[in-house]
Amino acid sequence: MDKENFVSIDSVLKKLGFDEMPKKLAFESVADLVSLKEIDLYFDISIQGTDKSVELEMQFEASGAFLGVLIGNGYSYQHDDVKLATALYIFSLFDSPKFAIQEYSFNDESFYVTDNEGIWHREKHLDENEVFFDKKQIESFSKSRAKNIDGKTKALALLARKMADNDDNFKTGNKVNAKAFKDHILLLAEEYGITEGGLKSGIMARYKILFFFYLFLINL
């Protein structure tokens, strides 16, 4: 792929209406889209990988202490060109979220991120300026997503708009405070025995993404 056709994470956040969200939540929304294979995330930072030819095994000491995740291939490759992330999450320390790459594809082959020996599974933490996206894909996704927002998502976003109109705690300027609304939803989930992890499952991830995208539209 021609790198001239790539865009930055900032462009993606703006295009999808995530740029007014807290950075960690915005990055998590993008990571959800990547995990759901809705959009692709690329990087060209050098990385050590080994074939996904075996199942990963969690290893523990006799005391029960966690040692790490074993691959055990005994070999690795260094990949320096453009790669496609296939498994990732957002790692955040001191309010500085990073894209933690766990698996990737290179030349249409799949790899685990590993140590130099290809024994232990590792992660590659990337800063926001080290990841990029296909410009045409993002534009196409943005247009299709706007057409496919369903009634439940619209209702949720309109409820957030109404709450912001009636309560300044849910408002930032003239716009809905997305973080305040999210925190309110999580408090309700706790009250009714639904874990935050449950809200981040595949289906709920889709609703979260659609909600914030529609919220972006009605905030215009």
Q: Report the alpha-carbon distance of residue 218 to residue 195 in Å, rounded.
A: 29
Specify the pLDDT at position 69. 94
**Which of the four pLDDT bands, split at 50, 70 and 90, describes residue 2?**
low
Can you state the angle between helices 202-219 and 151-166, rounded to 10 degrees?
50
What 8-state DSSP symbol labels residue 107? T
pLDDT tens figures, 132-183: 999 999 999 888 775 555 455 556 666 777 777 888 887 777 666 767 777 7
> Nearest Cα to 188, choosing from 217, 166, 159?
159
pLDDT tens figures, 49-61: 999 989 999 999 9
Give the pTM. 0.69
Give me the percent of the chain exceeding a pLDDT of 70.
77
> Nearest Cα to 205, choosing from 31, 39, 42?
31
Specify the pLDDT at position 123. 95
pLDDT tens figures, 95-108: 789 999 999 999 99
